[in-house]
Amino acid sequence: MTAACHRVARSLLADPLTNKGTAFTDEERTANGLHGLLPPHIGTLESQIARRRLALAGMSDDFQRYVFLRDLQDTNEVLFHALVQSDLEGLLPIIYTPTVGEGCQRFSEVWRKPRGVFLSWPNRERMADILADPRFDRVKVIVVSDGERILGLGDQGAGGMGIPIGKLALYTACAGINPAQVLPILLDVGTDNQERREDPLYVGWRAPRVRGADYDAFLEDFVSTIERRFPGALLQWEDFSGKNAFDLLARYRHRLLSFNDDIQGTAATAAGTLLAAVRRTGIPLAQNRFVIFGFGAAGSGIAELLVRMLRAEGDDEQTARRRIWAIDQQGLITDALSDLPPQQAPFARPAAETANWTRSNTGAFPALYDTIVNVQPTVLIGTSGQKNAFDAPTIHRLAQDCAMPVVFPLSNPRSRAEAEPEDLIAWTGGRGIIGTGSPFAVPGVAQVNNVYVFPGVGLGALASGAREVTNAMFLAAARGLGELAPSDGPLLPPVTALREVAVRIATIVAEQAVLDGVATRPPAALTAEKIAGMMWHPSYA
């Protein structure tokens, strides 16, 4: 056997996109010099899945399973995705929320093999060279983070790479994006997490975060490089801090086919689930009163999409905004607060409105409980990352004034959830309509997970050849999700139907792209059947 043949054999086994493990046929082994490097048994994809399921079942906790699956993804992509699709319900919580949170915190501890691209501040002059690698020639979907706001866990620095890797695994699992066409990117501009910087195992750049003009210039270089290298690719901004998330979305959404999942994806998922919830309550959307607790990227994104939905129901702008009470760290947001961020200012209540409120505390701004007492909301949404913020007195009072309260504690991971769904059911006397951000094994409770929206939005944008992702496309996605809700039980379709959900959302989004004038492909090419036909399925060539 020649040296070249040995190199081919090693290359096939080392590349997760070409490695088949024991499933290489006898002919393939002969042609590529694989005899002896593999056990003699010729396996099948099905037998390999069975072997991995047995291994997973023998592990003691979900973090071990997460590490095992990450290693499998870096070894054999087809097997990894076939395994995930064989048990979406059981494995999605392992490869993404809630387990991915611990995966990010312990990323440096478990890092094994290169995946994706780290673009660090010291290598800022090398961006174009790094991304010029021919292995990236097929990339169509990019998920990028700078690791500063990972779920509800804060700054994880380079460990934030776990989020782009996880999100792109969901793009493949749910929207059928070929794993050869995805690229996770971590913009490593340092970390202000001292524990990470002092960890001897930390794999990132050990420096405080670059901010201000230097940060803006770094991001501009990044976007310019992406424009040149990947024209027409979809870029998803993920887990940037609140201000940066809004600034980057506003600055680049018309330059790149891009969106921010924390702002827009969360909003569409929550709004779509709300549409399903209000059908259960029988209260028209425009007759509800909404309290949103936690008004960063997710909370304010939900509020803005709600305004668009309420306006479509007939409200004018001011009336729609006045149906929403926003609470942040200091309490209810009012116009007595100075220097409100642009995303919060439009939702500030007149300070005079609370002058005669019944108050249980003497703080400068009403807290959540007092807001519940005086507003008597029908919908309570949590995006605060504050565990147990929805306590028994608050929920008892909510249920006292509302026959069927809608309560969505959406913060991730579970350790940051505003309430446990079992408690919410008990405290509302079983009358509450509950949706959670993390998965809970509680009958009738939906997981309001962005996976119901962003894969379909991305697939629809790519299928239509969209030049940008418009607000109307997310509004259409929210309505489409609401229409998919079952008539009883949890508010959302089962996780096992996520591929079908993605096709439906993609079709709606593609149709909206045509209506918005941003599509470059004709409507005849955008039927559900044709979009489904674009999806990759894990099988060995």
Query: Quick check: 291 and 418 in contact, CB under 8 A?
Result: no
CA dihedral in degrees (127, 131, 132, 135; nearest 10)? 160
Extract the annotated binding site: 149, 238-239, 262, 412, 449
Residue type, 282: G
Query: Quick check: 166 and 116 in contact, CB under 8 A?
Result: no
Residues near 375 by Cβ (< 8 Å), separated by ≥ 6?
Answer: 289, 291, 325
Residue from 251, 63, 530 nearest 237 by CA? 251
Measured CA to CA, the distance from residue 405 to residue 396 in angstroms comes to 10
Three-state secondary structure call for residue 187: strand
DSSP sequence for 293-359: E--SHHHHHHHHHHHHHHHHTT--HHHHHTTEEEEETTEE-BTTSSS--TTTGGGPBPGGGGTT---
Residue from 234, 262, 257, 233 nearest 246 by CA? 262
Measured CA to CA, the distance from residue 112 to residue 219 in angstroms comes to 28
Measured CA to CA, the distance from residue 111 to residue 364 in angstroms comes to 47
Measured CA to CA, the distance from residue 311 to residue 302 in angstroms comes to 14
Extract the annotated binding site for a divalent metal cation: 238-239, 262
Measured CA to CA, the distance from residue 4 to residue 448 in angstroms comes to 52
Helix axis angle, 62-73 relative to 77-86, nearest 10°?
140
Extract the annotated binding site for (S)-malate: 149, 412, 449
Query: Quick check: 149 and 241 in contact, CB under 8 A?
Result: yes
Active site residues: 96, 167
Query: Quick check: 294 and 411 in contact, CB under 8 A?
Result: yes
Q: Tell me the two tokens of residue 482.
A: 């609401």
Q: What distance separates the 2 farthest-apart alpha carbons in the chain?
A: 88
In 156-204, which residue ranges form alpha helices assigned H by DSSP?
162-175, 194-198
Per-position b or e across 141-176, b if 16+ CB within 10 A of its CB: bbbbbbbbbbbbbebbbbbbbbbbbbbbbbbbbbbb
What secondary structure letter does DSSP report for 208? P
DSSP sequence for 3-42: HHHHHHHHHHHH-TTT--GGGS-HHHHHHHT-BTTB-S--
Measured CA to CA, the distance from residue 520 to residue 526 in angstroms comes to 11
CA dihedral in degrees (393, 395, 397, 401; nearest 10)? -170
Measured CA to CA, the distance from residue 279 to residue 185 in angstroms comes to 40
